[in-house]
């Protein structure tokens, strides 16, 4: 997994699972600690190669953190497997918001 910030897009690549979650959280924490954090952020999942249920928890945590900081957060290119898990857990609408860039 790697996360690279390009303007206001944070690109996530590699596996997003229980094993890689600590590294993803650490990189995301460094990104949001910036003094010049944009008011609008897109997280692009097009490079994600695998997920497990921990990815759902991570996205919910990112939504909460963005709301606390008054940052508009969009998720783009969400993997179908992640959306399926979110549906199963009953939280898909929290992940797939109107501004998420994901087709309903």
Query: Of 13, 16, 81, 19, which Cα lies nearest the Cα of 44?
Result: 13
Q: What is the residue whose two structure tokens read 């897109």?
A: 42
Q: What is the pLDDT of residues 59-88, one digit of tens each?
A: 999 998 888 888 888 999 999 999 999 999
pTM of the entire structure? Answer: 0.81
The predicted structure's pLDDT at residue 97? 67
Q: Where are the domains of the chain?
A: 2-95
The predicted structure's pLDDT at residue 83? 94
Q: Determine the distance from the C-alpha atom of residue 51 to the mean position of all C-alpha atoms in its chain, rounded to a whole number.
A: 12
The predicted structure's pLDDT at residue 4? 52
Asked if residues 71 and 39 have their Cβ atoms less than 8 Å apart, the reply is: yes
The predicted structure's pLDDT at residue 102? 39
Residues in the chain with pLDDT values less than 70: 1-7, 97-104
- Per the CATH hierarchy, to which homologous superfamily does domain 2-95 belong? STAS domain (3.30.750.24)
């Amino acid at each position: 997994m790697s996360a690279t910030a390009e303007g206001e897009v944070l690109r996530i690549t590699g596996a997003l699972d229980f094993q890689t979650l600590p590294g993803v959280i650490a990189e995301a924490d460094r990104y949001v600690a910036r003094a010049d954090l944009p008011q609008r952020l897109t997280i692009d999942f097009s490079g994600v190669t695998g997920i497990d249920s921990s990815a759902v928890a991570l996205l919910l945590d990112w939504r909460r953190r963005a709301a606390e900081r008054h940052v508009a957060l969009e998720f783009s290119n969400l993997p179908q497997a992640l959306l399926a898990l979110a549906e199963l857990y009953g939280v898909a609408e929290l992940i797939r918001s109107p501004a998420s860039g994901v087709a309903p």
